[in-house]
Amino acid sequence: MTKSLPQNNGFMLFCVLSEAKGMVIKMNKFNRIYPFSAIVGQEEMKKGLLLNAINPKLSGVLIRGEKGTAKSTAVRALAALLPDIEVVADCLYGCDPDNITVMCSSCRGRLEAGENLPRKKRKMKVVDLPVSATEDRVVGTLDIEQAIKKGEKHFEPGILAQANRGILYVDEVNLLDDHIVDVLLDSAAMGVNTVEREGVSFSHPANFMLVGTMNPEEGELRPQLLDRFGLCVNITGILDPLQRVEVVRRSVLFEEDPENFARQWEEEEKKLRKQIAAAKELLPAVKIKDDMLFLIAQIAIDMGVDGHRADLVMMKAAKTMAALNGREEVIEEDVRRSVDLALIHRMRRKPFQELSIDHEKLQDVISGFFDKECP
């Protein structure tokens, strides 16, 4: 027998739904992203993130700093700042419908068969990688049984598939298993994730901007892994009382009324969006002359870095810096401003020695270079 509900249950249900709706509204209100341009100080961190947003070939940025220095805030703010991207609507990897060279095998096959791929626009995604993630969770899994029995490749996508054409954010990257970090850096450098199990392999696009954050007090990354991050930033808490007060003021204003706070910074955000879009468009046309390449090489030699990755990253960062500033040719200032980001984590150092750049020595290297004739 069905028992009828009391008459006032409808009213109670309305109250519950209204309260739930109110909770959603409040959650939406407080889930607003803090504006990138409103972050006080931390200019090196913002510069490293912007350069990677403009030029994904920089192979990511590692942000090292103590707790409470806006590391996570800056990453999420950057994603909100970037323009929407067009994707294949029903693709697991969010392939670019206009670029067959970086499509997954499924989208490429459909396009070659003459199909019009469905399109949609989406926001730039920030995909979080938890510290406890296993290799299968990161790279995805292959169903070996189905491959052997039916000859079909059945792939279950992982975090790298979700991050394609987005931002992969790894908090506490120094606490991840070294092998997982290696997999991330390989994919970030190559733009492809390949999974191999029992002689069966599957590949898919994995073009993402890699951002790792860490607190050095909790342990360091091995030098080999440090070197694989294109750029690195060391940040600390702000020591200027005026700036610290401004941090508090803005934080309070944002917490009290995030909508109004966002409106106050919308003009600055629009300017930054336009600057990023213009820089991305200009970057392929930016040239670097031989004298700047020789300067980069001399800096790498005299500052005592190992290998050639430092030279390559400095060159890419300097070109991106020029594009960000609206120039079609790299100048000395672009090289100088890229040095800290490209070299700080590649400098030879003793155990327990802090990462740092000797700026007096750097100035001597640059001055000495221009005092003699370029080869």
Which residues are catalytic, by number? 309
**CA 233/CA 225 separation, integer angstroms:** 15
For 332-338, the CB contacts below 8 A with 24+ separation are 332/292, 332/295, 332/366, 332/370, 334/292, 335/292, 335/295, 335/296, 335/299, 336/362, 336/366, 337/47, 338/313, 338/314
**CA 346/CA 265 separation, integer angstroms:** 36
How long, in residues, is the chain?
375
Q: What are phi and psi of 271, to 5 degrees?
A: -60, -45
Residue whose tokens read 């192979």 = 59
Residue whose tokens read 């068969």 = 113
Q: What are phi and psi of 150, to 5 degrees?
A: -110, -10
Question: In Å, how far from its chain's centre is CA 137?
Answer: 20
C-alpha separations of 339 from 230, 246, 292, 316, 371 in Å: 12, 29, 13, 11, 20
Do residues 129 and 138 lie in contact, with contact meaning Cβ atoms separated by under 8 Å?
Answer: yes
Dihedral over alpha carbons 31, 209, 46, 293 (to 10 degrees) = -170
Q: Please enumerate in sequence order all residues whose Cβ is within 8 A of that of 314, keeping only pairs 6 or more positions apart, or say none.
A: 296, 299, 300, 335, 338, 339, 342, 343
Do residues 181 and 131 lie in contact, with contact meaning Cβ atoms separated by under 8 Å?
Answer: no
